[in-house]
Homo-oligomer: A and B are copies of this chain.
Amino acid sequence: MLEAKLQEASVLKKLLDAIKELVTDANFECNEEGINLQAMDNSHVALVAVLLEAPGFKRYRCDRPMPLGVNLASLTKVLKCAKDDDECTIKAADEADVLNLVYEAKHTDRIAEYDMKLMDIDSDTLGIPETDYDARVTMASVEFGRIVRDLSLLGESVRIEVSKEGVRFASDGEAANGSVLLKPTEGVGKVPKKDEDSEEEQGEEANGDDEDEEQAEDGKKTKKEKTKVKKEKDTEDVEMEDEEENGNEDFKPEGDDDEEKNSDDEESGKKRKKKQANGTSSKKAKTASSSSKGKGKKKEKDDDKDFEGVIIELNQHVSLTFSLKYLVNFSKSQSLCGKVQLMMSNDVPLLVSYEFGQGHIRYYLAPKIGDD
């Protein structure tokens, strides 16, 4: 059986808002690690992957792996019946054909309970290839949303070009052409070496395979310490996505990270936002978050609420063209996290990743061919 209690129903509500227009039905794959959802969009162009980690729940129990086939429109309706700050418990018996949702108001005695029909869905949980990316852009999620929405007024598709100067979003349309250039906040972005950076972790993590990641993580760390501090920073930033796994590394003195080692509090959090822009302190921020995660999830979640600046990590110049319609859709996830990461390599699908403390939502979108 499954029983998972969320501190706030809002997380689930936002998640559904973020995917319901992309996918109609999907399996919530539940196991002891947490809950995974993976689905192609209705036109099989984009892939969305959601992870809710078990430790992120106020209470979590899942005796055996079970897929819960859910109609997302139905679940959205049911979740509309929850207030944002309600405690939300989802339950399903083994082999059950209903999902039980209980909403408990924080300060009153209201208890609402809903049963939603489940359905059988062919689980085409295609393993997501573990890709190394040549470019990673980290930016405010609202800004990303703004840009793709703006450009979608002009044209159908956008060319995203990452270079040392920054990242350029360009779209050509009937009436007008548009181009938005974001310069990296702290000069030139750090360039992670592909063979030793941590981007592969992202692919691994997308598979929810924690043990492997932890080991890979250790391996990388060793490499990193052998190589350059600069790479460290880049890598650590990625590790944010592995918070649970590398918690043992918290506060470990590494390179030039020292000055913000204890940035657990609000004050240093503010500093961090600025510092984060240089791709250095972000590591510590993440590490600190990682440790604080067990204690106070809320703080962790708000970590990147007001992310500012643009971090560009580049191994190789990339230029790819994507359908704006999908990117606009992806950007709905901005309510979940103030920060978004765009991972790109030439001729492979773009990965758009939002991390929100209890997990992540990731979108994969194949580039348009011809690069026009």
Instruction: Decide: A115 and B153 in contact? CB cutoff 8 A.
Output: no
Which residue of B116, B143, B146, B175 is within 8 Å of A74 (Cβ)? B175
B contact residues around A310 at 8 Å (CB): 109
Q: Check if A183 is an interface residue, CB within 8 A of chain B.
A: yes
B contact residues around A166 at 8 Å (CB): 109
Q: Check if A326 is an interface residue, CB within 8 A of chain B.
A: no
Q: Which residue of B lies closest to A170 (CB)?
A: B113
Per-residue CB contact flags for chain A residues 298-325 toward chain B (1 = under 8 Å, else 0) read 0000000000111000000000000000
Least CB distance from A70 to B in Å reads: 10
Least CB distance from A296 to B in Å reads: 30
Known contacts A150-B80, A153-B77, A153-B81; A176/B109 CB under 8 A: no
- Determine the main DSSP class of A at the interface with B: mixed
Per-residue CB contact flags for chain A residues 146-166 toward chain B (1 = under 8 Å, else 0) read 100011011000000000001
Q: Check if A125 is an interface residue, CB within 8 A of chain B.
A: no
Q: Check if A178 is an interface residue, CB within 8 A of chain B.
A: yes
How far is A179 from B109 in the complex, measured between Cα atoms in Å? 14
Give the copy number.
2
The A155-198 residues at the B interface (CB cut-off 8 A) are 166, 175-185
B contact residues around A184 at 8 Å (CB): 109
Instruction: Decide: A74 and B114 in contact? CB cutoff 8 A.
Output: no
Q: Check if A112 is an interface residue, CB within 8 A of chain B.
A: yes
Instruction: Decide: A114 and B177 in contact? CB cutoff 8 A.
Output: yes
Q: Check if A71 is an interface residue, CB within 8 A of chain B.
A: yes
Least CB distance from A271 to B in Å reads: 18
Instruction: Decide: B117 and A175 in contact? CB cutoff 8 A.
Output: yes
Q: Check if A1 is an interface residue, CB within 8 A of chain B.
A: no
Q: Check if A78 is an interface residue, CB within 8 A of chain B.
A: yes
How far is A117 from B177 in the complex, measured between Cα atoms in Å? 9
B contact residues around A153 at 8 Å (CB): 77, 80-81
Least CB distance from A137 to B in Å reads: 13
Known contacts A77-B153, A154-B78; A110/B143 CB under 8 A: yes
Instruction: Decide: A113 and B74 in contact? CB cutoff 8 A.
Output: no
Q: Check if A96 is an interface residue, CB within 8 A of chain B.
A: no
The A182-231 residues at the B interface (CB cut-off 8 A) are 182-185
Instruction: Decide: B175 and A77 in contact? CB cutoff 8 A.
Output: yes
B contact residues around A181 at 8 Å (CB): 110-113
Least CB distance from A176 to B in Å reads: 4
How far is A180 from B175 in the complex, measured between Cα atoms in Å? 44
Name 4 extra pairs, CB < 8 A, besides A77-B176, A81-B154, A115-B176.
A77-B175, A83-B146, A108-B182, A113-B179
**9 A–B contacts from the bound complex (CB under 8 Å):** A74-B175, A108-B308, A108-B309, A109-B310, A110-B180, A112-B181, A113-B178, A114-B176, A116-B175
Q: Top 8 closest A-B pairs, CB basis? A: A74-B175, A81-B150, A109-B183, A116-B176, A112-B180, A114-B178, A77-B153, A115-B177
Give the interface of A toward B (CB within 8 A).
71, 73-74, 77-78, 80-81, 83, 108-117, 143, 146, 150-151, 153-154, 166, 175-185, 308-310
